[in-house]
Amino acid sequence: MSFPLTRLRRLRQNPVLRDMVTETKVTVDDLIMPLFVCPGSKVKNPIPSMPGNYQMSIDVLVEECKSLMDVGIRAIILFGIPEEKDDTGMIAAHDDAIIPRAIDAIKKDVPGMFVIADVCNCEYTTHGHCGVVVNGDVDNDLTFNSLVAQSITFARHGVDMVAPSDMMDGRVLKIRQGLDAEGYYMMPIMAYSAKYASAFYGPFRDAAESAPQFGDRRSYQMNPANSDEAIRELEFDIAEGADIIMVKPALSYLDIIRRAKDRFNMPLAAYNVSGEFAMVKAAAEKGWIDEDRIILEILTSIKRAGTDIILTYHAKHFAEKLQ
């Protein structure tokens, strides 16, 4: 059927009709807000490259969770800035470490909040790498110890889901086995499966104080040039028991998201990362773009590409103004 029998503009002329035939709609249910928690009390340090985001002490974090709930954001992912760092990241698995204490406080005061904990070592190691360093590179299998220990501790403190972001081979299996052995067989794992070695993480590393002190992450995170390899990463994590798979970053990787959605019958997440957020904020500050429309278009495009879940620093702003 073609012109003049068919005219695609017929369905675009009326706003009600346009809404009726809208294929993709982002809602607050799709969104996870990342939050940064630090030691102290009444601390709310602005993160310069991520306007509107803060390093928060636990008391401030709890208040933020309440205000997120008020606008309908019911899921957060926590990143910790610890008092002390060590060589392995094992320090993050102590019961009195920053993330377990944050989980305790949120679960006590905001019980309806779905709390996800990022599981990784880079925020907790002196060298800023995501695992145990041996001879100048991250040792894959030695890194399992702290990842499994963190996951079990977070589970014991009542976290709702763990999200390993380290990119070691086999870590989903090890975490699954570790959780199951402790009786946490119902704890879901959201795996950062296809995580690229991306320059878009720059602002986050300032926020989480997690930049590598030497070298880079290219021996464990993926080459941005590769797409088939992303499918292998996703396949591996699914086989190892991941409940939700993730592509990260989002915007330069919409093709990977679409391939993943077409191929796997699995819930799929994408991380709209700090650099993607910072670019929008910087251009908006200069008055060069319409911030609200850009945010809506970005989130819609990530969902349209095939994601069910979006981790985004825009979550609160979206909930307050854009839905």
List interacting residues with ligand PBG (CB under 6 A): 118, 120, 122, 130, 165, 201, 204-205, 273-274
Q: Helix axis angle, 228-239 relative to 254-263, nearest 10°?
A: 50
26 is written with which tokens? 């982002």
| Minimum distance, C-beta of residue 205 to ligand PBG, in the bound complex (Å) | 6
The three-class DSSP label of residue 158 is coil
Residues 6+ apart with CB under 8 A from 75: 31, 32, 33, 113, 114, 116
Nearer to ligand PBG, 120 or 310 (CB): 120
- Cα–Cα distance for residue pair 307/304, rounded to 1 Å: 7
Q: Which is nearer to ligand PBG, 64 or 276 (CB)?
A: 276
- Picking from 258, 198, 265, the residue whose alpha carbon sits closest to that of residue 235 is 265
Helix-, strand-, coil-residue percentages of the chain, each rounded to 5: 45, 20, 40
Residue 120 Cβ vs ligand PBG, minimum distance, rounded to whole Å: 4
Closer CB to ligand PBG, 152 or 208, in the complex:
208
Q: Which is closer to ligand PBG, CB of 152 or CB of 207?
A: 207
Taking the alpha carbons of 51, 55, 56, 58 in that order, is the dihedral positive or negative?
Answer: positive
Output the smallest distance, CB 276 to ligand PBG, in A. Answer: 8
Closest residue to ligand PBG using C-beta atoms:
204
224 phi, psi to nearest 5 deg: -55, -15
Residue 84 or residue 216: which is nearer to ligand PBG going by CB? 216
Q: Please state the closest distance from residue 132 (CB atom) to ligand PBG, in A.
A: 14
In SS3 terms, 187-202 reads as CCEEEEEEEECCHHHH
Alpha-carbon gap, residue 218 to 268, rounded angstroms = 24
Judged by beta carbon, residue 122 or residue 244, the one nearer ligand PBG is 122
Active-site annotation, residues: 195, 248
- Give me the least distance between CB of 15 and ligand PBG, in Å please: 35
Residue 314 pairs in a beta bridge with: none
What is the Cα–Cα distance from 300 to 249, expressed in whole angstroms?
A: 15
Q: How far is the CB of 79 from ligand PBG (least distance, A)?
A: 7
Query: How many Cα atoms sit within 13 Å of 298 on the Cβ side?
Result: 29
Q: How far is CA 96 from CA 9, 42, 93, 101, 163, in A?
A: 61, 19, 8, 6, 20
